[in-house]
Structure 1
């Protein structure tokens, strides 16, 4: 409901994102769940740094087949080089490495749950840095997402869930 309120702004007549943005967002959620769950065995064997390094290298090679970066004319000014370096180092390498390192330390379901904060953080950053405005429905949506994460993070007292958590080592 929280994501729905953020995406629609409380109105069913329009979306705050384009249809392509909505499709990419849903695909991102699906693949986000997959990249948390699928590599757990590999990460335990080789560590998050090695797994992330190979994943980024192979991803870069595959993307090159679809996006021929050498055909783009780029403005390689000093500011542009700093911007690209920032995106590569902090927006890609550090973000994925830190996320996989966290997923190595906490259960993958908790790591996946934390990823639901992406729409909230995108909204907050948009307001702070891009001058976007947020209506009351979007604000309520963000609060609902945060509340859901907090409620799910509280350890359960239910006997069957407690047993499940204890067996997983948490």
Structure 2
């Protein structure tokens, strides 16, 4: 992230970068603070090398379109999506927790009750999502378990919007 001296990077004149959260093939995810609302958000930024690749931009836009249509307590909400200069990004709910992968690794053996609870929450989220889109990348790294035991299904980057004629 570009910085001027010791000042944190600010994107679109509004989002102050706090720290990196992760990275993938398409982009990087940062924890940002919205200067207008004071809310902490996750921001996914498309990597510079993909800014002029129509297929990658279309995939990024599909993820945004899918998230905009979804309203479920186990799916992170999207707040903003746009291009600012050479930065294509979207912001979404920031969730503090552990991926299912980390959660299992940290806890060791997971009891049947906890396993069934998490799977049921994920199933409800996917049932809701699949009315509009197909996730296509569900994995232990794309499911977060929060401190209160709730879950969030993340990363709709490979999502495919359903045709209106599909059941």
After TM superposition, the score normalised by the length of structure 1 is: 0.31
What is the TM-score of this pair, normalised by structure 2? 0.31
Greater relative CO (CA pairs within 8 A, separation 6+): 1
Q: Which has the higher helix share?
A: 1
Rg larger in 1 or in 2? 1
Which structure's residues are more often strand, by fraction? 2
